[in-house]
Amino acid sequence: MSVSVQTSRRATALGPGLVVLGAVLAVVAFLSITMGSRSIGLGEVLRALGSLDDDGSIGSTVTLEMRVPRTLLGILVGAALGVAGAILQGVTRNPLADAGIMGINSGAAAFVVTAVTVLGLRGVEVYIWFAFAGAIAALVLVYAIASLGREGATPVKLALAGAAIAAGFGSLTTGIVMTNVDALNELRFWQVGSLAGRYAPILIGVAPFLIAGLIASLAFGRSLNGLALGEDVARGLGQRVGLTRAAAFGVVALLAGGATAACGPIIFVGLVVPHIARFLCGPDYRWILPYSMLLSPIVLLLADVLGRVVTAPDELQVGVVLGVVGAPVFVGIVRYGRLSEA
């Protein structure tokens, strides 16, 4: 059987899965808009969505100015984190790699804390640029440290360098925040990871970067498949491994940096979702990336809705919900199923 026929059959089998996930995402997004800590009638929500005009009522204001931007941001941030995690696991060939383990979240947080404490800057709109800078700085440091020595940036060295950079930036951030009350008050909700209070200006600020990163990420499927076979095989197939890694890290910085800037360091999405995607579609990154792109916002929005409903009229931040729910799920993946290879 020819390769083209096999590919065609696989697309026929997996393509409908993307359609189903898209439909599930639409349902979850609708739940995110219609459910929350404030009780608003379904009819009122539907009228606001139908007119897209804030008539000044509480229901219309909450729906159009709070829930809709929050939901759209959750879709973009979830997709960005899932895809970034899948790319990192493919590039490093480490099934436990994600933006947190590779130091990206810690680098972004450290730069944001510096902006608040040293430069006196405020507002998530300002955080975006410092989070990007921190994410890029962390990745450059990780890759530079891992590249030292004769073997170059091997998967094991990348993972170890990432853990070291994450610990260093994390300690720096904790030290600054614990000794600066203003920084603590400014960043305590951002650091836990949250979609709450993220309105249209923040969505507009990060959307171009996240959309560009998501589009660019789809071009890495074939390259990640080559890296999964090993560096020597990838080079034998004509792939420039160093250039591929550098380009992939740049896209990851765009995705994870933008997501962290907008919502803080949200955990577990980029780590767990790529494994679920592999379970559903197999080891081909040409499918893992789009599956992760749809699965991740489903998980993130469900966690956000759960946090709003369970403690209503208060709210439990999505980072806390994912930490509580995600930890046992990940332990279950490791304990009862074979941890999929990156």
Question: How high is the pLDDT of residue 37?
Answer: 65
CA–CA separation, 30 and 34 (whole Å): 6
- CATH number of the domain bearing residue 143: 1.10.3470.10
Angle between helices 68-92 and 3-34 (to 10 degrees): 150
**pLDDT > 70? residue 124:** no
**pLDDT > 50? residue 311:** yes
The total domain count for the chain is 1
Cα 14 from chain centre: 23
CA–CA separation, 104 and 128 (whole Å): 14
HSE value, Cβ hemisphere, 13 Å, CA-based, for 106: 23
Q: Is the Cβ–Cβ distance between 287 and 280 less than 8 Å?
A: no
pLDDT digits (tens, 9 = 90+) for 28-44: 999 988 887 666 766 67
**pLDDT > 60? residue 5:** no
Asked if residue 342 belongs to a domain, the reply is no
**pLDDT > 60? residue 60:** yes
Domain that includes residue 238, residue range: 3-336
Residue 171 vs residue 46, higher pLDDT: 171
pLDDT digits (tens, 9 = 90+) for 270-280: 888 998 999 89
Asked if residue 198 belongs to a domain, the reply is yes
Taking all residues of the chain, what is their mean pLDDT, rounded to a whole number?
A: 81
Asked if residue 9 belongs to a domain, the reply is yes
**pLDDT > 90? residue 234:** no
Asked if residue 341 belongs to a domain, the reply is no
Band (pLDDT 50/70/90 cuts) for residue 286 is very high
Cα 53 from chain centre: 31
Q: What is the dihedral of CA 195, 200, 204, 206, to 10 degrees?
A: -20
Asked if residue 106 belongs to a domain, the reply is yes
Would the pTM of this model clear 0.95, i.e. be above it?
A: no
What mean pLDDT comes out for the span 234-253? Answer: 81
Task: Pick the range with the lowest mean pLDDT from 186-190, 270-274, 324-328.
Answer: 186-190
**pLDDT > 60? residue 337:** no
**pLDDT > 50? residue 7:** yes
**pLDDT > 70? residue 125:** no
**pLDDT > 90? residue 80:** yes
H/E/C letters for each residue in 53-69? CCCCCHHHHHHHHHHHH
CA–CA separation, 314 and 111 (whole Å): 30
**What sign does the dihedral 23-212-119-113 (CA atoms) show?**
positive
**pLDDT > 50? residue 64:** yes
